[in-house]
Amino acid sequence: MKIALLQLNVTVGDLAGNARRIEQAARDSAKAGAQLAVSSELALLGYPPRDLLLDRALLEQAQETTNRLARSLDGVIALLLGTVEPNLADRGRSVRNVVQLLKDGNVRAGTTKVLLPTYDVFDEDRYFEPGAGSSPLQFAGTTLGLTICEDVWNDAQFWPHPRYHLDPVEVLAGQVQTLINLSASPFHRGKQVLRERMLGHTARRHGKPLLYINQVGGNDELIFDGRSCAFDARGQLLGRAQAFREDVLLVELPSEGELVPGRAEPDLAGEEEVWQALVLGTRDYTHKCGFQQGIVALSGGIDSALTAAVVCAALGPANVVGVMMPSPYSSRGSLDDSARLAGNLGIETMKLPIEPAMQAMEQILAPAFAGMQTDVTEENIQARIRGTLVMALSNKFNRLVFITGNKSETAVGYNTLYGCTAGALAVIADLYKGEVYRLAYWLNRNGEVIPEDTLSKPPSAELRPDQRDQDTLPPYDVLDAILYGYIEEGHTSAELIEAGNDPQTVHRVLKLLRQAEFKRRQLPPALKVSARAFGMGWRMPIARR
Residues assigned a catalytic role: 41, 113, 149
Q: How far apart are CA 462 and CA 399, in angstroms?
A: 26
DSSP state of 498: H
Q: Is 320 helix (H, G, I), strand (E, B) or coil?
A: strand
Which of 89, 195, 93, 100 lies closest to 152, judged by CA?
Answer: 195
What dihedral do alpha carbons 519, 525, 527, 531 form, nearest 10°? 60
Parallel, antiparallel or unpaired: strands 247-252 and 294-297? unpaired
Alpha helix segments (H runs only) across 317-451: 332-345, 355-365, 376-397, 407-412, 433-443
Parallel, antiparallel or unpaired: strands 320-324 and 348-351? parallel
Which of 110, 113, 109, 135 lies closest to 125, judged by CA?
Answer: 113
Task: Kindly state the helix (H) or strand (E) to which residue 42 belongs, with its residue range.
Answer: none
Which of 156, 81, 71, 153 lies closest to 114, judged by CA?
Answer: 153
Parallel, antiparallel or unpaired: strands 229-231 and 137-139? unpaired
Going by C-beta distance under 8 Å and a sequence separation of 6 or more, which residues neighbour residue 376? none
Between the alpha carbon of residue 423 and those of residues 22, 79, 406, 457, 535, the distances in Å are: 33, 41, 14, 26, 15
Contact 110, 136 (CB under 8 A): no
Q: How far apart are CA 51 and CA 29, in angstroms?
A: 33
E-assigned strand segments in 113-266: 137-139, 142-148, 178-183, 210-214, 216-219, 222-225, 229-231, 237-240, 247-252
One-character DSSP codes across 433-494 = HHHHHHHHHHHTTTS-SS-HHHHHSPP---SSTT--GGGTS--HHHHHHHHHHHHTS---HH
Which of 495, 469, 471 lies closest to 482, judged by CA?
Answer: 495
Task: Kindly state the helix (H) or strand (E) to which residue 138 belongs, with its residue range.
Answer: strand 137-139
Q: Is 525 helix (H, G, I), strand (E, B) or coil?
A: coil
DSSP lists the bridge partners of residue 99 as 82, 111
Q: Is 518 helix (H, G, I), strand (E, B) or coil?
A: helix
Q: How far apart are CA 182 and CA 137, in angstroms?
A: 14
